[in-house]
Amino acid sequence: MRCGSKCFLVEMEMNGEQQSKPVTARSPVEARKTIRIEYGKEANVLSVREEKKKKLTIRLREV
């Protein structure tokens, strides 16, 4: 994992099937590039979304 990298969820269509793959990249453009390098031209990228980290909330009980 490189400095400044984030997790992106890439939705793509390959061989008539719609798939979602998590990709670690610095930008959405780099995520698309990674998919194209890995799967070739037959992978049609539909969307690239940044996966948001879920916030952990801690509830404190009053004594």
CA distance 25 to 6: 6
Using the structure block, give the residue that is written with the tokens 């610095």. 26
Q: Pick one of 3.90.1720, 2.40.160, 1.10.357, 3.10.20 as the CATH number of 6-50.
A: 3.10.20
**pLDDT on residue 1:** 67
The one-digit pLDDT tens for each residue of the chain (63 residues) are 678 788 999 999 988 899 999 999 999 999 999 999 999 888 899 999 998 777 677 777 765
pLDDT at residue 41, as a whole number: 84
AA identity, residue 60: L
pLDDT at 33: 93
Domain layout of the chain by residue ranges: 6-50
Q: How does strand 43-50 pair with strand 17-25? A: unpaired
Say how far apart CA 30 and CA 28 lie, in whole Å: 5
